[in-house]
Structure 1
Amino acid sequence: MFVSVLVVAFLVALHQNKQLIGDNGLLPCRLHLQNIKRYFGGKIGADAISYAPTLLWFLDWSHMDTHLDNIAWVGLAISTYILLTGCANMILMATLWILYHSLVGVGQIWYSFGWESQLLETGFLGIFLCPLWSLSRFPERTPPSRIVIWSFRWLIFRIMLGAGLIKIRGDRCWRDLTCMDYHYETQPVPNPLAYYMHRNPGWFHQFETLFNHFIELVVPFFMFLGRRLCVVTGVLQVLFQVLLILSGNLSFLNWLTIVPSMAFFDDASLSFLFSSREGSVKRQVSRMQTHKAGGWRPPKHYGGYIRQLVHLSLGVLILYLSVPVVQNLLKSKQIMNTSFNPLRIVNTYGAFGSITKERTEVIIQGTSSLNPNDPNAVWEEYEFNCKPGNLTRRPCTISPYHYRLDWLMWFAAFQTYEQNEWIIHLAGKLLANDISASSLMAVNPFQGKGPPRWVRGEHFRYKFSRPWGRHASDGRWWIRKRIGPYFPPISLPGLKKFFESRSWPLPLQA
């Protein structure tokens, strides 16, 4: 499961990194590294590397697109190999962890989501599940260390408890059980099932909220109450994540959260997955069970001693790095989705600490009119890949894939364009019919017919149409009402000083 998530993560990076953080991206990582270097005295020292851990510090910054592609390609190749063969070792897993860390380190706001840290922490623990050199599927006499298993359980404990506490301490609607009245409609990227789930009666939404609190605030403690309740914990956590996958497009977050949940199952509880035709697999698992049942035995080779020492060191490291994380969980002003160490080995987590009660969207429009204030000017809308826009377009189902720009547009809608300068960079690229920017869109109305003269951002309030109402009969999934302008009409010449002040190259018209 984890390697499948890695395949998707590197595929997303391959398809979107150049447009977002490449040489001509919306927030070029080259400028980001230069700013960090300048902040730390113009040197690439330990402080700069600690601030943004990435291999890109040691590569030629004049070919950033190539480096970003190479990192994504190598990560995709290794993770695909592991997925297809089922064979991995510590060296391959550590390589994947370093490669993805190199992207997160320069990803800026595009990689600022909690699941990026969660992927890194899960990947770090995954290194210690594997043998050092061997690529055998079931290396004999090397069952998973209890320290590693409990590290995964500690991870899912913090994920769920952190999410539950941030809700109870955050938005009042989580306490009065009304948050689910809004969530399906206002979540970042709704899917088709969310459209129908939104119309459930109020009592059902209250039950959903109570069930959420039970899963996040109560069930995590079951893992301390013996084997049977550990298995129950695993079942409930996996089912909960499946429900979240079905009702929303939360990137690969929920798929990734299933991974540490598997640490609650032992071989006996999973034996039903192996059919009689897989006798050899069952025999190998049986041998591993027998080895574990026989209790601890001194290793017969130096590799065994080294492995035990490594796992013991891992346990000490996890305990040490967990101290500020536990302190954060105990605070009334809890911080979510952050890390207190630069390598993001042990992190804080949380989700939807506040729920937006209304959905607003930024709709980007362009016109070929000479005068943007002309009441007869025809403004045509750009359509994003997945976020709401066209009222008749069915909500998409995209998870575990992740459109990073669509997610940031959701955040931008309840902020201002001054807080999201990249959106003006995007508008400038659209004014030039830039190919890379257009590749982030589902529909560019000016593709093939010359760039627009003006681009503007309009602010709308969106609501689900009623499945049985007149809007639904017209094929509309959404209804909307204009709030006002989000950013005023802008032209390419008018952006020159703005771009120069930020060292962004002025786009050339296609």
Structure 2
Amino acid sequence: MLDKSGWESQLLETGFLGIFLCPLWTLSRLPQHTPPSSIVIWGFRWLIFRIMLGAGLIKIRGDRCWWELTCMDYHYEVLLIISGNLSFLNWLTMVPSIACFDDISLGFLFSSRVKERVVQIQSKEAAKEKLPLGCYIRKVVNISFGLLIAYLSIPVVLNLLNSRQVMNTSFNPLRIVNTYGAFGSITKERTEVILQGTSSMDPNDPTAVWEEFDFKCKPGNLKRRPCFISPYHYRLDWLMWFAAFQTYEQNEWIIHLAGKLLAQEEETLSLMATNPFAGRAPPRWIRGEHFKYKFSQPGGKHASEGKWWIRKRIGPYFPPVNLKGLKKFYEDRNWPYPMRD
């Protein structure tokens, strides 16, 4: 996912290109004398090229596990205290990709009437009918626009050729031509926070049975294969990944999540893949455990057992908590205290 400045720049550049895609003085679906400029079409292709190249370069250079960029291109609108939904980024990336298809490949999207009208317009263009003055002005504007894009692309190309590329950066104050990358850098190891609950009265009892909550897509169950769900985006899973290489003090929302799971709130449970306490009494305690995950090797021992993942416990992420103990924590932050049914 791009940082804020990255997605703002991508939105701005896509919108700026869109200004020149359609004629200014008509709302006609098929304006007779003003077809989309080839310069603008190539502008969109240049944009998607930089987006895709940046996504690839960050995996080559990376120091964060690339798995979530290929298998977890997702976003989810979370309840809890987190707001915002950036799933539009996936669609925003698809928009310039359309320029990579020719008319024939996209023809099935349009009616026969529309396609016949296009053929008629192209025939008139081929006959080299005299064009209105506005069309020539538009051609001059498009050529000027193309020269501007070419000029602003010079520092971008130099940056891409540099061994120390800078991602998500604008090289001009207008942010018309930028570099993009999913992250500024990525880590080499993947760590995960696993939420576990128990019905035991004493969380420190060595015989207590701790059962895991699985999320919809993020690694958890060792035998569950990675999921491909683009262009959707599970926000909660995404945030859990970030929380794993920080502390719970830096991510207080995860304690909020624990409280909602303790209360077995249906809205929160809908964000989870499994609830080990379904049809039973709610858990008395929930804790966070910290693990390091990596893929099993094809043909290896773990893979032969049906395991996609191998994990090693790092230690506790946050200590066992219960609803009674979280009451003051919630009150201090003016959070609504979760109540069990």
State the TM-score bracket (shorter-chain normalisation): 0.7 to 0.9
What's the secondary structure of 1:384's corresponding residue? coil
Work out the CA distance in 1 between the residues paired with 2:100 and 2:301.
Answer: 49
Aligned residue type for 1:159:
I
Partner of 1:393: 224
Does residue 125 of structure 2 align to residue 291 of structure 1? yes
Work out the CA distance in 2 between the residues paired with 1:309 and 1:497.
Answer: 67
* Distance verdict in 2 for CA 1:338–1:444, change over 3 Å: farther
Does residue 24 of structure 2 align to residue 144 of structure 1? no
Q: Number of residue pairs matched?
A: 326
Q: Deviations over 1:458-510 (max 9, x none)?
A: 11122333443443444332232222111111223333443344333332333
Work out the CA distance in 2 between the residues paired with 1:348 and 1:110.
Answer: 11
Partner of 1:122: 14
Q: Is the 8 A contact 1:339 1:347 kept in 2?
A: yes
* Distance verdict in 2 for CA 1:358–1:132, change over 3 Å: same
The CA deviation at 1:441 is 1.1
Structure 2 residue corresponding to 1:374, chosen from 178, 202, 205: 205
What's the secondary structure of 1:443's corresponding residue? coil
Partner of 2:340: 509
Does residue 191 of structure 2 align to residue 365 of structure 1? no
Segments of structure 1 that go 5 or more residues without pairing to the other structure are 1-108, 174-181, 190-246
Map 1:72-221 → 2, pairs under 5 A: 112=4, 118=10, 121-123=13-15, 125-126=17-18, 128-131=20-23, 136-146=28-38, 148-160=40-52, 162-163=54-55, 170-171=61-62, 187-188=67-68
Work out the CA distance in 2 between the residues paired with 1:464 and 1:320.
Answer: 44
Structure 1 residue corresponding to 2:302, chosen from 467, 471, 495: 471
Q: CA RMSD in A?
A: 4.6
The CA deviation at 1:400 is 1.4
Q: Deviations over 1:397-428 (max 9, x none)?
A: 21111111112222222222223222222222
Work out the CA distance in 2 between the residues paired with 1:423 and 1:341.
Answer: 39
Q: Deviations over 1:72-125 (max 9, x none)?
A: xxxxxxxxxxxxxxxxxxxxxxxxxxxxxxxxxxxxx99859567535643553
* Distance verdict in 2 for CA 1:164–1:490, change over 3 Å: same
Work out the CA distance in 2 between the residues paired with 1:151 and 1:381.
Answer: 49
What's the secondary structure of 1:188's corresponding residue? helix
Partner of 1:250: 73
Structure with higher Rg: it is 2
Q: TM-score, normalised by structure 2?
A: 0.72
Q: Is the 8 A contact 2:71 2:226 kept in 1?
A: no
Segments of structure 2 that go 5 or more residues without pairing to the other structure are 75-86
Partner of 1:31: none
Work out the CA distance in 2 between the residues paired with 1:423 and 1:293.
Answer: 67
Higher relative contact order (CA 8 A, sep 6+): 2
Work out the CA distance in 1 between the residues paired with 2:25 and 2:199.
Answer: 62
What's the secondary structure of 1:366's corresponding residue? strand
Structure 1 or 2: larger helix share? 1
Work out the CA distance in 1 between the residues paired with 2:320 and 2:192.
Answer: 17
Q: Is the 8 A contact 2:222 2:309 kept in 1?
A: yes
Does residue 115 of structure 2 align to residue 281 of structure 1? yes
* Distance verdict in 2 for CA 1:456–1:314, change over 3 Å: farther
Q: Is the 8 A contact 1:362 1:412 kept in 2?
A: yes
Q: Is the 8 A contact 2:327 2:337 kept in 1?
A: yes
Q: Deviations over 1:33-74 (max 9, x none)?
A: xxxxxxxxxxxxxxxxxxxxxxxxxxxxxxxxxxxxxxxxxx
Aligned residue type for 2:314:
I
Work out the CA distance in 2 between the residues paired with 1:490 and 1:436.
Answer: 20
* Distance verdict in 2 for CA 1:450–1:278, change over 3 Å: same
